Amino acid sequence: MMSTASIITGIIILAVGTYAMRLSGILLNNKAAVSERVKGILSLSAIVILFSVAMTSTFFDGDQLADISKIMGVGVAGILTWQKKPFIMIVLSAAIVTAGLRGLINLWG
């Protein structure tokens, strides 16, 4: 278990690092040139990281596999996102599918 002091120290380190990165952007301004290829790679790497986190949280709940209703709800959200549907429709549809499947599973189980 982590102590309060170690948590506060971690928060302070993260805050200082965040502000140092922001300050370096202001100080460097346009002094460091980055090629379009590097910008593209950095953009894609951010997408890969976000996708990895989304997939991990979709298929795992702690150290166990997630239930099928959660996986199906995220699948519905993915399909609707791919079809460029409105955000509120995506969220509500995913929630309805997940809740509906959980309700059916509870009825049968």
Regarding predicted confidence, which is higher, 50 or 92?
92
End-to-end CA distance of the chain: 36
Place of tokens 């509870």: 106
- Structure token digits, residue 83: 């079809």
Query: CA–CA separation, 69 vs 96, rounded Å?
Result: 10
Confidence of residue 100 (pLDDT cuts 50, 70, 90): very high
pLDDT per position as a tens digit, 25-55: 888 877 777 789 988 898 888 888 888 888 8
pLDDT at 94: 95
pLDDT at 60: 87
Taking the complete model, does pTM exceed 0.85, yes or no?
no
R_g of the chain, CA atoms, integer Å: 21
**H helical segments located in 1-109:** 4-28, 36-59, 68-82, 87-108
